[in-house]
Amino acid sequence: MQRVVSVVAHLGFRLQALPPALCRPLSCAQDVLRRTPLYDFHLAHGGKMVAFAGWSLPVQYRDSHTDSHLHTRQHCSLFDVSHMLQTKIFGSDRVKLMESLVVGDIAELRPNQGTLSLFTNEAGGILDDLIVTNTSEGHLYVVSNAGCWEKDLALMQDKVRELQNQGRDVGLEVLDNALLALQGTVTSGCPSPSLKKNVAMGYVPCEYSRPGTMLLVEVRRKQQIAVVSKMPFVPTNYYTLK
């Protein structure tokens, strides 16, 4: 049965949670895991299948992670989102609704352009990451993590019920001191096969945010010198299908 949740507000919002792709049953010890429609494709290409959020998904193919990374940068790769929460947001004020939930500039997205953004709480803390696309079909298309299905959907529904209680548009004022720790915080980091160096993202006080600023970061209890850089680290080389 298709799992669809719709909420209609005074401002005309409608949230439609699209179900994960129809799953195929498993047998024996793996019967608790679900399969996406691309399960056989993953196996045929040497996918190493692992359990993730109740699904059987490939963590790696025949080639190494580095080879896959370089192939994506030099050519193209597709990511199977069949297992993820996919939501369509309709309504004349859908952009205002989304901008009250995330930190991205949704209003500046061109038709069929998407952006990686973050769900935040009332204090500006990060709840989850997601991708928001401004479709040319009159709605926003949101893809968020499978492991946060219930939490993310509840967050959007709560905000609509709030657009109902106040009777007009809502907003989230994000203050600098609500987002920034005094010493700065590294949120993620990894080696970059394309740049052949380590890269990371994080929050720092505004006075240290200018590109080229030298900083000290702690890596496995050792201090390393880092430099603030513009993102994306590697220039994009993709095209939007029109």
What's the average pLDDT block by block, 10 residues per block, for the chain (242 residues)? 35 56 47 89 94 91 90 88 88 87 90 91 84 93 83 74 45 24 65 84 78 78 80 75 60
What pLDDT shows up at residue 5? 37
Q: Is the dihedral of CA 143, 145, 150, 154 positive or negative?
A: negative
What pLDDT shows up at residue 181? 31
Contact 84, 144 (CB under 8 A): yes
Using alpha carbons, list the distances in angstroms from residue 197 to 186, 200, 222: 17, 10, 17
Using alpha carbons, list the distances in angstroms from residue 182 to 207, 211, 223, 225: 11, 19, 17, 18
What pLDDT shows up at residue 132? 94
Contact 192, 39 (CB under 8 A): no
What pLDDT shows up at residue 13? 55
What pLDDT shows up at residue 167? 38
CA distance 162 to 156: 10
CA distance 145 to 131: 10
What pLDDT shows up at residue 137? 92
What pLDDT shows up at residue 57? 93
CA distance 98 to 9: 14
Which residues are registered as beta bridge partners of 56?
51
Cα torsion at 44, 62, 194, 104 (round to 10°)? 40
Which residues are registered as beta bridge partners of 219?
222
153-170 as b/e: b if 16+ CB within 10 A = bebbeebbeebeeeeeeb
Token pair belonging to 201: 């993202």
Question: Checking DSSP bridges between strand 85-90 and strand 14-18, what pairing results, if any?
Answer: antiparallel
CA distance 179 to 34: 37
Q: Which domains does the chain have, with CATH numbers?
A: 34-80 (no CATH), 85-177 (3.30.70.1400), 187-228 (no CATH)
| Residue whose structure tokens are 């995330």 | 102
What pLDDT shows up at residue 51? 94
Specify the pTM.
0.60
What pLDDT shows up at residue 40? 95
